[in-house]
């Protein structure tokens, strides 16, 4: 009986009453009517929840009470009504004010209500509180800005690191050039000054030896002096050549390597085998000097650190590159010495850093592969077009 009665009563409601009940029941939207001047005529539950006013407090007041004061002073509420009346609809998102003075971000739609003759009889206004969405968007925006700031900071740090690395490399190259110039100067001074003085001393001692035959001098002492001078001459000559071997400029890289290996075998007791073309030809001066310094540093490391009794040196042409390899059968390099990243590249330590920078200077590459069976240092550099080393390699069938 009650159900039938309810349906009967519901059917008795007019369409206008049902619409009014629907509007009043909506809680997520503020839905109310304005007269043509913007004064509030109706008020629903959603409007009370969103804006904080009850119906008695707000009906009859101008809807501009929902706008911030600066918007009211600029005439924005009235302009919104004028736009709605002219264009048939007005919509925006912006700040609105609750009864307690707090602000919220709102989506507002104003629609004019016209009579049969087209005259504006009032306005329907629908407001939705989008504060949660606004806060989420603001949080996202701040997160994006922070991310962009972090990316820019990292990019700046990377640029600074690259600039610092470039400065260090430039400084290293300048130091290497200064080192080579100083070695050349010292080598020539040792040969031209100290070496000549020792030669003169040896000649004077020889003359004294001839004049003293009648006086029966102590031949043991004279022989010892001759021996000391001979040793000093050899040492000075060796030092001057090690500082800057003149035959590197005069005879080329292969001859300088042969000379260096002869002296290295005598000084170290390490048996070194050279594998190379008999007629290797010449390379640009900077390239020959870089490869020679790599050879010196590599064999010095073999002597000091590897404990290997033998070593192999290979000087070869591979395609469009010149390759210098130094291998030993020693205990291998400590992991901390090598910077491992795909191809192990020697970059730690002063000597290894110097080799790396010298090869980089000639657009070359340095690899250092080490394990318990020994260490291989491989220096590779591109040959200049038309270099006579290429012609020598082609003639030998390599």
Assess whether 117 and 140 both reside in one domain.
Answer: no
Structure-token match 């590599």, residue found: 298
* 8 and 97 assigned to the same domain: yes
Mark whether 211 and 332 lie in a shared domain. no
> Is the CB of residue 281 less than 8 Å from the CB of residue 319?
no
Q: Are residues 233 and 261 in the same domain?
A: no
Tell me how far apart the alpha carbons of residues 352 and 161 are, in angstroms, rounded to a whole number. 21
- Residue 108's DSSP bridge partners are 92, 127
The pair of three-digit structure tokens given for residue 59, joined into one six-digit string: 């009906």
Per-residue pLDDT of the chain (398 residues; tens, 9 = 90+): 333 333 344 555 555 666 566 676 677 899 999 999 999 999 999 999 999 999 999 999 999 999 999 999 999 999 999 999 999 999 999 999 999 999 999 999 999 999 989 999 999 999 999 999 999 999 999 999 999 989 999 988 888 888 887 777 777 767 777 667 666 666 665 666 566 666 666 776 676 666 555 565 566 766 777 777 777 766 666 666 666 677 777 788 998 899 889 888 988 899 999 999 877 888 998 899 889 989 988 998 898 888 899 999 999 999 999 999 999 998 877 665 555 333 444 444 557 777 888 888 889 999 988 888 899 999 999 998 765 554 444 444 33
Tell whether 396 and 277 lie within a shared domain.
Answer: yes
Task: Judge if 137 and 121 occupy the same domain.
Answer: no
Alpha helices, DSSP H, located in the chain? 2-12, 15-25, 45-51, 55-58, 69-73, 76-87, 131-189, 195-211, 219-243, 246-250, 253-268, 285-301, 350-361, 388-396
Residues 80 and 161 in one domain: no
Widest Cα–Cα separation across the chain: 160
**Domain shared by 125 and 136, yes or no:** no
Which pLDDT value is given to residue 3? 36
Determine the structural domain holding residue 323 and report its residue range.
252-398
Sole residue written with tokens 């307690």 = 100
Distance CA 186, CA 214 (A): 42
Domain termination site, one of 210, 244, 278: 244
Task: Give CA separation, 200 vs 226, 231, 239, 287, in Å.
Answer: 12, 15, 19, 37
- Domain total in the chain: 3
Q: Last residue of some domain: 94, 129, 164?
A: 129
Write the CA distances from 73 to 67, 70, 76, integer angstroms. Answer: 10, 5, 8
Look at phi and psi of residue 160 and say left if phi exceeds 0, alpha if psi is from -120 to 50, else beta.
alpha
Is the pTM higher than 0.85? The answer reads no
């Amino acid at each position: 009986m009650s159900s039938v009665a309810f349906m009967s009563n519901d059917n008795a409601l007019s369409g206008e009453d049902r619409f009014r009940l629907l509007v009043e029941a909506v809680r997520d939207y503020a839905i109310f009517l304005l007269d043509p001047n913007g004064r509030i005529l109706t008020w629903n539950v959603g409007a009370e929840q969103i804006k904080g006013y009850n119906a008695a407090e707000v009906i009859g007041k101008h809807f501009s009470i929902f706008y911030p004061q600066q918007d009211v002073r600029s005439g924005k509420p009235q302009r919104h009504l004028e736009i709605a009346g002219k264009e048939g609809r007005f919509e925006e998102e912006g700040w609105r004010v609750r009864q307690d003075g707090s602000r919220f971000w709102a989506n507002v739609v104003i629609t004019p209500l016209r009579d049969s003759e087209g005259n504006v009889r009032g306005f329907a206004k629908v407001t939705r509180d989008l504060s949660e969405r606004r806060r989420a968007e603001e949080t996202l925006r701040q997160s994006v800005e922070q991310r962009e700031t972090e990316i820019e900071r990292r990019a700046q740090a990377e640029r600074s690191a690259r600039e610092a690395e470039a400065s260090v490399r430039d400084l290293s190259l300048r130091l290497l050039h200064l080192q080579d110039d100083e070695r050349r100067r010292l080598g020539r001074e040792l040969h031209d000054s100290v070496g000549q003085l020792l030669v003169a001393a040896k000649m004077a001692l020889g003359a004294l030896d001839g004049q003293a035959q009648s006086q029966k001098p102590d031949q043991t002492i004279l022989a010892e002096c001759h021996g000391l001078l001979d040793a000093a001459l050899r040492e000075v000559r060796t030092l001057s050549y090690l500082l800057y071997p003149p035959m590197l400029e005069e005879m080329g890289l292969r001859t300088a390597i042969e000379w260096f290996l002869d002296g290295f075998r005598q000084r170290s007791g390490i048996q070194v085998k050279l594998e190379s073309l008999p007629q290797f030809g010449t390379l640009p001066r900077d390239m020959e000097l870089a490869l020679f310094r790599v050879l010196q540093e590599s064999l010095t490391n073999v002597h000091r650190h590897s404990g290997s009794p033998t070593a192999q040196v290979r000087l070869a042409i591979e395609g469009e590159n010149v390759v210098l390899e130094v291998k030993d059968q020693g205990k291998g390099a400590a992991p901390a010495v090598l910077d491992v990243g795909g191809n192990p590249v020697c970059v730690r330590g002063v000597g290894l850093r110097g080799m790396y920078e010298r090869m980089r200077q000639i657009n070359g590459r340095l690899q250092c592969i080490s394990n318990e069976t020994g260490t291989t240092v491989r220096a590779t550099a591109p040959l200049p077009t038309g270099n006579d080393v290429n012609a020598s390699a082609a003639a030998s069938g390599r």
